Amino acid sequence: MVFRVDLGSVRKDAAGVIYLDANATTPLLPEVLDAMLPWLREGYANPSGAYAGAKLARRAIDQARNQVAELIGADAGEIIFTGSGTESVNTALHSLDKLAGQGAAVVSAVEHSAVLRCVDHLTREVNAIPVTAGGRMEMEAFARSLDKAAYISLMAANNETGVIQPLCEAAALARERGLPIHSDAIQAAGKIPLDVKELGVDLLSISAHKFHGPKGVGALYLREGLRFRPLLEGGGQETGRRSGTENTAGIVGMGAAAAAMLRASKSEIEMMRDAFEARVLAEIPGISINGDTTHRLPNTCHLSFDRCDAAGLLILLDEAGVACSAGSACMTGKQRPSHVQLAMGIPEARAKSSLRFSFSLLNTLAEALAAAMLLGKAVEKLRRVQGSGVGPVTVYSP
Protein backbone atom coordinates (compact mmCIF):
# COMPACT_ATOMS: atom_id res chain seq x y z
CA MET A 1 0.00 0.00 0.00
CA VAL A 2 1.29 3.48 -0.86
CA PHE A 3 -1.40 5.72 0.64
CA ARG A 4 0.01 8.90 2.14
CA VAL A 5 -2.50 11.08 3.97
CA ASP A 6 -1.90 13.29 6.99
CA LEU A 7 -4.67 12.09 9.31
CA GLY A 8 -4.04 15.03 11.58
CA SER A 9 -5.44 17.35 8.92
CA VAL A 10 -8.67 15.41 8.49
CA ARG A 11 -11.80 16.92 9.99
CA LYS A 12 -13.99 14.31 11.67
CA ASP A 13 -17.42 14.62 13.23
CA ALA A 14 -18.11 15.15 16.93
CA ALA A 15 -17.69 11.42 17.58
CA GLY A 16 -14.26 11.43 15.92
CA VAL A 17 -15.54 9.55 12.87
CA ILE A 18 -15.20 10.01 9.12
CA TYR A 19 -18.88 9.57 8.30
CA LEU A 20 -19.49 7.95 4.90
CA ASP A 21 -22.99 6.55 5.40
CA ALA A 22 -25.13 9.39 4.08
CA ASN A 23 -27.53 6.98 2.37
CA ALA A 24 -28.45 5.71 5.83
CA THR A 25 -28.93 9.20 7.24
CA THR A 26 -27.33 12.63 7.05
CA PRO A 27 -26.32 15.07 9.79
CA LEU A 28 -28.43 18.18 10.20
CA LEU A 29 -27.12 21.23 8.42
CA PRO A 30 -26.49 24.09 10.89
CA GLU A 31 -29.13 26.26 9.20
CA VAL A 32 -31.68 23.45 9.50
CA LEU A 33 -31.11 23.16 13.25
CA ASP A 34 -31.35 26.93 13.58
CA ALA A 35 -34.70 26.92 11.77
CA MET A 36 -36.06 24.16 14.00
CA LEU A 37 -35.00 25.41 17.44
CA PRO A 38 -37.68 28.10 17.90
CA TRP A 39 -40.37 25.50 17.22
CA LEU A 40 -38.84 23.13 19.76
CA ARG A 41 -38.74 25.87 22.42
CA GLU A 42 -41.39 28.55 22.41
CA GLY A 43 -43.28 27.58 19.23
CA TYR A 44 -45.07 24.63 20.80
CA ALA A 45 -48.63 25.56 19.84
CA ASN A 46 -50.77 23.05 17.96
CA PRO A 47 -50.99 24.36 14.37
CA SER A 48 -54.69 23.43 14.26
CA GLY A 49 -55.52 25.98 16.96
CA ALA A 50 -57.26 29.33 16.37
CA TYR A 51 -55.01 31.57 18.51
CA ALA A 52 -51.94 33.57 17.51
CA GLY A 53 -49.27 31.00 18.41
CA ALA A 54 -51.10 28.29 16.47
CA LYS A 55 -51.44 30.54 13.43
CA LEU A 56 -47.68 31.20 13.49
CA ALA A 57 -47.06 27.44 13.49
CA ARG A 58 -49.49 27.01 10.58
CA ARG A 59 -47.68 29.68 8.57
CA ALA A 60 -44.34 27.99 9.27
CA ILE A 61 -45.75 24.69 7.97
CA ASP A 62 -47.14 26.41 4.89
CA GLN A 63 -43.72 27.91 4.17
CA ALA A 64 -42.09 24.50 4.54
CA ARG A 65 -44.68 22.99 2.20
CA ASN A 66 -43.71 25.53 -0.45
CA GLN A 67 -40.00 24.74 0.06
CA VAL A 68 -40.50 20.99 -0.22
CA ALA A 69 -42.73 21.43 -3.26
CA GLU A 70 -40.03 23.51 -4.96
CA LEU A 71 -37.43 20.79 -4.36
CA ILE A 72 -39.41 18.32 -6.51
CA GLY A 73 -41.20 20.66 -8.91
CA ALA A 74 -44.64 20.20 -7.34
CA ASP A 75 -47.39 22.60 -6.34
CA ALA A 76 -47.63 23.24 -2.60
CA GLY A 77 -51.12 21.75 -2.41
CA GLU A 78 -49.77 18.46 -3.76
CA ILE A 79 -47.50 17.90 -0.72
CA ILE A 80 -48.66 15.78 2.24
CA PHE A 81 -46.36 15.69 5.28
CA THR A 82 -45.89 12.28 6.91
CA GLY A 83 -44.00 10.86 9.86
CA SER A 84 -41.30 9.17 7.73
CA GLY A 85 -40.39 8.03 4.26
CA THR A 86 -41.76 4.58 5.06
CA GLU A 87 -45.12 6.07 6.02
CA SER A 88 -45.13 8.04 2.78
CA VAL A 89 -44.50 4.87 0.78
CA ASN A 90 -47.12 2.88 2.68
CA THR A 91 -49.68 5.68 2.31
CA ALA A 92 -49.18 5.77 -1.45
CA LEU A 93 -49.30 2.00 -1.94
CA HIS A 94 -52.31 1.40 0.30
CA SER A 95 -54.23 4.09 -1.57
CA LEU A 96 -53.26 2.67 -4.96
CA ASP A 97 -54.15 -0.85 -3.89
CA LYS A 98 -57.62 0.18 -2.68
CA LEU A 99 -58.48 2.35 -5.68
CA ALA A 100 -56.73 0.72 -8.67
CA GLY A 101 -58.51 -1.70 -10.95
CA GLN A 102 -57.84 -5.37 -11.48
CA GLY A 103 -54.28 -6.54 -12.04
CA ALA A 104 -50.88 -6.85 -10.41
CA ALA A 105 -48.74 -4.42 -8.47
CA VAL A 106 -45.65 -3.95 -10.67
CA VAL A 107 -42.37 -3.17 -8.90
CA SER A 108 -38.69 -3.68 -9.65
CA ALA A 109 -36.80 -6.52 -7.99
CA VAL A 110 -34.49 -4.04 -6.26
CA GLU A 111 -37.04 -1.88 -4.46
CA HIS A 112 -36.50 -0.92 -0.82
CA SER A 113 -38.13 -3.16 1.76
CA ALA A 114 -40.62 -0.38 2.51
CA VAL A 115 -42.10 -1.06 -0.93
CA LEU A 116 -41.55 -4.82 -1.19
CA ARG A 117 -42.95 -5.69 2.24
CA CYS A 118 -45.88 -3.38 1.81
CA VAL A 119 -47.02 -4.82 -1.52
CA ASP A 120 -46.43 -8.35 -0.22
CA HIS A 121 -48.96 -7.68 2.55
CA LEU A 122 -51.58 -6.31 0.19
CA THR A 123 -54.10 -8.60 -1.44
CA ARG A 124 -53.22 -8.46 -5.11
CA GLU A 125 -50.52 -10.25 -7.13
CA VAL A 126 -47.04 -8.69 -7.20
CA ASN A 127 -44.92 -8.70 -10.35
CA ALA A 128 -41.24 -7.95 -9.55
CA ILE A 129 -39.44 -6.95 -12.75
CA PRO A 130 -35.85 -8.22 -13.11
CA VAL A 131 -32.89 -5.88 -13.42
CA THR A 132 -29.74 -5.93 -15.52
CA ALA A 133 -26.28 -6.77 -14.18
CA GLY A 134 -25.90 -3.01 -13.68
CA GLY A 135 -29.01 -2.88 -11.49
CA ARG A 136 -31.41 -1.05 -13.83
CA MET A 137 -34.90 -2.39 -14.45
CA GLU A 138 -35.27 -4.34 -17.70
CA MET A 139 -37.57 -2.12 -19.73
CA GLU A 140 -38.76 -4.83 -22.15
CA ALA A 141 -39.91 -6.99 -19.25
CA PHE A 142 -41.54 -3.95 -17.67
CA ALA A 143 -43.42 -3.09 -20.85
CA ARG A 144 -44.74 -6.67 -21.13
CA SER A 145 -45.93 -6.57 -17.52
CA LEU A 146 -48.26 -3.63 -18.14
CA ASP A 147 -50.89 -5.79 -19.89
CA LYS A 148 -51.80 -7.25 -16.50
CA ALA A 149 -50.88 -4.33 -14.22
CA ALA A 150 -53.05 -2.31 -11.85
CA TYR A 151 -50.41 0.15 -10.67
CA ILE A 152 -46.62 0.61 -10.57
CA SER A 153 -44.06 1.56 -7.92
CA LEU A 154 -40.51 2.20 -9.13
CA MET A 155 -37.70 3.76 -7.10
CA ALA A 156 -35.87 6.76 -8.52
CA ALA A 157 -32.47 5.52 -7.28
CA ASN A 158 -31.37 2.47 -5.34
CA ASN A 159 -30.41 2.96 -1.73
CA GLU A 160 -27.58 0.38 -1.82
CA THR A 161 -25.90 0.80 -5.19
CA GLY A 162 -27.03 4.33 -6.02
CA VAL A 163 -28.16 3.13 -9.47
CA ILE A 164 -30.69 5.51 -11.04
CA GLN A 165 -33.72 3.77 -12.52
CA PRO A 166 -35.38 4.59 -15.88
CA LEU A 167 -38.27 6.25 -14.08
CA CYS A 168 -39.17 8.79 -16.75
CA GLU A 169 -39.40 6.09 -19.44
CA ALA A 170 -41.43 3.82 -17.17
CA ALA A 171 -43.84 6.63 -16.30
CA ALA A 172 -44.37 7.43 -19.98
CA LEU A 173 -45.37 3.82 -20.65
CA ALA A 174 -47.66 3.87 -17.62
CA ARG A 175 -49.39 7.01 -18.86
CA GLU A 176 -50.02 5.40 -22.25
CA ARG A 177 -51.91 2.61 -20.45
CA GLY A 178 -53.65 4.91 -17.97
CA LEU A 179 -51.86 3.23 -15.05
CA PRO A 180 -50.96 5.17 -11.88
CA ILE A 181 -47.28 5.17 -10.91
CA HIS A 182 -45.61 5.86 -7.58
CA SER A 183 -41.91 6.45 -7.04
CA ASP A 184 -39.84 5.93 -3.91
CA ALA A 185 -37.47 8.86 -4.43
CA ILE A 186 -36.17 8.81 -0.87
CA GLN A 187 -32.53 8.25 -1.90
CA ALA A 188 -32.70 10.57 -4.91
CA ALA A 189 -34.23 13.71 -3.41
CA GLY A 190 -31.63 16.39 -2.79
CA LYS A 191 -28.93 14.42 -4.63
CA ILE A 192 -30.14 14.73 -8.22
CA PRO A 193 -32.69 17.09 -9.81
CA LEU A 194 -36.26 15.84 -9.49
CA ASP A 195 -39.29 17.35 -11.19
CA VAL A 196 -42.50 15.40 -10.74
CA LYS A 197 -44.08 17.05 -13.77
CA GLU A 198 -41.19 16.10 -16.04
CA LEU A 199 -40.99 12.60 -14.55
CA GLY A 200 -44.71 12.08 -15.09
CA VAL A 201 -45.31 10.28 -11.79
CA ASP A 202 -48.58 10.38 -9.86
CA LEU A 203 -47.16 9.91 -6.36
CA LEU A 204 -43.62 10.32 -5.02
CA SER A 205 -42.13 9.71 -1.57
CA ILE A 206 -39.23 11.55 0.08
CA SER A 207 -37.71 11.68 3.57
CA ALA A 208 -36.05 14.66 5.25
CA HIS A 209 -33.19 12.84 6.97
CA LYS A 210 -31.71 11.71 3.66
CA PHE A 211 -30.90 15.30 2.67
CA HIS A 212 -29.68 16.91 5.92
CA GLY A 213 -33.10 17.34 7.50
CA PRO A 214 -34.42 15.76 10.71
CA LYS A 215 -35.52 12.18 11.22
CA GLY A 216 -39.19 11.46 11.76
CA VAL A 217 -40.62 13.55 8.92
CA GLY A 218 -41.31 12.70 5.29
CA ALA A 219 -43.55 13.86 2.50
CA LEU A 220 -45.76 12.41 -0.19
CA TYR A 221 -46.38 14.14 -3.50
CA LEU A 222 -49.94 13.46 -4.64
CA ARG A 223 -50.75 14.67 -8.13
CA GLU A 224 -53.65 17.09 -8.20
CA GLY A 225 -56.83 15.28 -9.25
CA LEU A 226 -55.60 11.76 -8.48
CA ARG A 227 -58.04 9.66 -6.50
CA PHE A 228 -56.69 9.06 -3.01
CA ARG A 229 -57.59 7.27 0.20
CA PRO A 230 -55.69 8.20 3.38
CA LEU A 231 -53.85 5.62 5.45
CA LEU A 232 -54.39 7.42 8.78
CA GLU A 233 -57.83 8.64 9.87
CA GLY A 234 -58.46 10.96 12.79
CA GLY A 235 -58.43 14.72 13.16
CA GLY A 236 -58.33 15.50 9.47
CA GLN A 237 -54.96 17.28 9.34
CA GLU A 238 -53.22 17.80 5.98
CA THR A 239 -56.62 18.62 4.47
CA GLY A 240 -57.90 15.21 5.49
CA ARG A 241 -55.12 13.30 3.76
CA ARG A 242 -52.96 12.46 6.80
CA SER A 243 -54.42 12.78 10.25
CA GLY A 244 -52.26 13.42 13.28
CA THR A 245 -50.95 16.62 14.86
CA GLU A 246 -48.22 18.02 12.65
CA ASN A 247 -44.60 17.87 13.80
CA THR A 248 -44.02 21.59 13.34
CA ALA A 249 -40.29 21.60 14.14
CA GLY A 250 -39.61 18.57 11.95
CA ILE A 251 -41.61 19.96 9.04
CA VAL A 252 -39.85 23.33 9.32
CA GLY A 253 -36.53 21.46 9.32
CA MET A 254 -37.52 19.52 6.22
CA GLY A 255 -38.41 22.76 4.46
CA ALA A 256 -35.11 24.37 5.44
CA ALA A 257 -33.20 21.31 4.24
CA ALA A 258 -35.08 21.31 0.93
CA ALA A 259 -34.22 24.98 0.41
CA ALA A 260 -30.57 24.28 1.24
CA MET A 261 -30.43 21.44 -1.28
CA LEU A 262 -31.70 23.71 -4.02
CA ARG A 263 -28.91 26.21 -3.25
CA ALA A 264 -26.09 23.71 -2.76
CA SER A 265 -23.65 22.61 -5.44
CA LYS A 266 -23.48 18.81 -5.73
CA SER A 267 -20.33 18.75 -7.90
CA GLU A 268 -18.00 18.57 -4.89
CA ILE A 269 -19.78 15.47 -3.61
CA GLU A 270 -19.22 13.66 -6.89
CA MET A 271 -15.60 14.82 -6.94
CA MET A 272 -15.02 13.37 -3.46
CA ARG A 273 -16.70 10.10 -4.36
CA ASP A 274 -14.69 9.78 -7.56
CA ALA A 275 -11.40 10.62 -5.80
CA PHE A 276 -12.10 8.00 -3.12
CA GLU A 277 -13.04 5.41 -5.74
CA ALA A 278 -10.04 6.12 -7.95
CA ARG A 279 -7.66 5.84 -5.00
CA VAL A 280 -8.99 2.52 -3.74
CA LEU A 281 -9.13 1.03 -7.24
CA ALA A 282 -5.54 2.06 -7.89
CA GLU A 283 -4.16 0.84 -4.58
CA ILE A 284 -6.26 -2.15 -3.46
CA PRO A 285 -6.33 -5.24 -5.71
CA GLY A 286 -9.37 -7.46 -6.05
CA ILE A 287 -12.14 -4.85 -5.91
CA SER A 288 -15.43 -4.88 -7.81
CA ILE A 289 -17.63 -1.83 -8.37
CA ASN A 290 -21.24 -2.94 -8.24
CA GLY A 291 -23.86 -1.20 -10.33
CA ASP A 292 -24.13 0.93 -13.44
CA THR A 293 -21.46 3.61 -13.12
CA THR A 294 -23.11 5.83 -15.76
CA HIS A 295 -26.56 6.00 -14.18
CA ARG A 296 -25.61 6.47 -10.55
CA LEU A 297 -26.13 8.92 -7.71
CA PRO A 298 -23.16 11.29 -7.43
CA ASN A 299 -22.52 10.38 -3.80
CA THR A 300 -22.62 6.57 -3.78
CA CYS A 301 -19.84 3.98 -4.16
CA HIS A 302 -20.69 0.30 -3.73
CA LEU A 303 -17.70 -2.06 -3.63
CA SER A 304 -17.02 -5.76 -3.19
CA PHE A 305 -13.68 -7.02 -1.87
CA ASP A 306 -12.16 -10.33 -2.94
CA ARG A 307 -11.33 -12.61 0.03
CA CYS A 308 -12.87 -10.25 2.57
CA ASP A 309 -16.20 -10.43 4.35
CA ALA A 310 -18.13 -7.23 4.88
CA ALA A 311 -18.72 -7.89 8.58
CA GLY A 312 -14.98 -8.10 9.25
CA LEU A 313 -14.24 -4.97 7.24
CA LEU A 314 -16.96 -3.04 9.04
CA ILE A 315 -15.43 -3.92 12.40
CA LEU A 316 -11.94 -2.87 11.31
CA LEU A 317 -13.18 0.36 9.71
CA ASP A 318 -15.24 1.20 12.78
CA GLU A 319 -12.14 0.74 14.94
CA ALA A 320 -10.24 3.00 12.54
CA GLY A 321 -12.91 5.71 12.73
CA VAL A 322 -14.67 5.24 9.37
CA ALA A 323 -18.46 4.81 9.30
CA CYS A 324 -19.95 3.05 6.27
CA SER A 325 -22.41 0.20 5.82
CA ALA A 326 -22.96 -3.21 4.27
CA GLY A 327 -25.75 -2.11 1.93
CA SER A 328 -29.03 -0.81 3.32
CA ALA A 329 -29.05 0.39 6.92
CA CYS A 330 -32.24 -1.65 7.30
CA MET A 331 -30.21 -4.82 6.64
CA THR A 332 -27.38 -4.11 9.10
CA GLY A 333 -26.85 -7.08 11.41
CA LYS A 334 -28.67 -9.52 9.11
CA GLN A 335 -26.21 -12.18 7.94
CA ARG A 336 -27.67 -12.79 4.51
CA PRO A 337 -26.93 -11.38 1.06
CA SER A 338 -28.71 -8.27 -0.09
CA HIS A 339 -31.74 -8.95 -2.31
CA VAL A 340 -30.55 -6.06 -4.47
CA GLN A 341 -27.23 -7.69 -5.27
CA LEU A 342 -28.76 -11.12 -5.79
CA ALA A 343 -31.26 -9.59 -8.24
CA MET A 344 -28.29 -8.14 -10.15
CA GLY A 345 -26.80 -11.63 -10.47
CA ILE A 346 -23.93 -10.95 -8.08
CA PRO A 347 -22.72 -14.24 -6.55
CA GLU A 348 -23.60 -14.74 -2.91
CA ALA A 349 -19.98 -14.77 -1.74
CA ARG A 350 -19.27 -11.43 -3.39
CA ALA A 351 -22.53 -9.99 -2.13
CA LYS A 352 -21.42 -10.79 1.41
CA SER A 353 -18.16 -8.92 0.83
CA SER A 354 -19.81 -5.63 -0.19
CA LEU A 355 -19.68 -2.24 1.46
CA ARG A 356 -21.46 1.00 0.62
CA PHE A 357 -19.69 4.34 0.99
CA SER A 358 -21.98 7.35 0.62
CA PHE A 359 -20.91 10.99 0.83
CA SER A 360 -22.74 14.18 1.76
CA LEU A 361 -22.36 17.96 1.66
CA LEU A 362 -20.55 17.84 5.01
CA ASN A 363 -17.69 15.59 3.85
CA THR A 364 -14.35 16.88 2.55
CA LEU A 365 -11.82 15.67 0.01
CA ALA A 366 -9.32 15.12 2.82
CA GLU A 367 -11.81 12.82 4.54
CA ALA A 368 -12.38 10.88 1.31
CA LEU A 369 -8.66 10.28 0.80
CA ALA A 370 -8.10 9.43 4.45
CA ALA A 371 -10.96 6.93 4.33
CA ALA A 372 -9.40 5.34 1.24
CA MET A 373 -6.12 4.93 3.10
CA LEU A 374 -7.81 3.42 6.15
CA LEU A 375 -9.85 1.12 3.94
CA GLY A 376 -6.66 -0.13 2.31
CA LYS A 377 -5.15 -0.92 5.69
CA ALA A 378 -8.31 -2.72 6.80
CA VAL A 379 -8.43 -4.85 3.64
CA GLU A 380 -4.75 -5.70 3.95
CA LYS A 381 -5.16 -6.70 7.59
CA LEU A 382 -8.26 -8.82 6.95
CA ARG A 383 -6.67 -10.61 4.01
CA ARG A 384 -3.70 -11.57 6.13
CA VAL A 385 -6.17 -13.37 8.36
CA GLN A 386 -8.55 -14.74 5.72
CA GLY A 387 -6.09 -15.56 2.92
CA SER A 388 -4.08 -13.47 0.49
CA GLY A 389 -5.26 -14.67 -2.94
CA VAL A 390 -7.06 -11.85 -4.75
CA GLY A 391 -8.40 -11.32 -8.21
CA PRO A 392 -8.33 -8.34 -10.57
CA VAL A 393 -10.25 -5.10 -10.23
CA THR A 394 -13.66 -5.44 -11.85
CA VAL A 395 -16.34 -2.89 -12.71
CA TYR A 396 -19.77 -4.53 -12.91
CA SER A 397 -21.51 -2.11 -15.22
CA PRO A 398 -23.04 -2.68 -18.66
Options 301, 308, 324, 330, the catalytic residue = 330
Of 284, 238, 217, nearest to 32 (Cα)?
217
Q: Residue 387, exposed/middle/buried by CB under 10 A (0-12, 13-18, 19+)?
A: exposed
The three-state DSSP-derived secondary structure of 104-124 is EEEEECCCCHHHHHHHHHCCC
Is the CA virtual torsion 176, 177, 182, 185 positive or negative?
Answer: negative
Task: Note if 324 is an active site residue.
Answer: no
3-state helix, strand, coil in the chain (%, to 5): 40, 15, 40
Task: Choose among 398, 361, 367, 330: nearest CA to 6.
Answer: 367
Residue 84: closest CA among 191, 210, 217: 217
| Cβ contact 29:214 at 8 Å | no
Mapped onto helix, strand or coil, the DSSP state of residue 26 is coil
Cβ contacts of 130 within 8 Å, gap of 6 or more: 109, 137, 138, 141, 343
Distance CA(333)–CA(277), nearest Å, equals 25
Check if the beta carbon of residue 222 is closer than 8 Å to that of residue 73. no
Residues classed as catalytic:
330
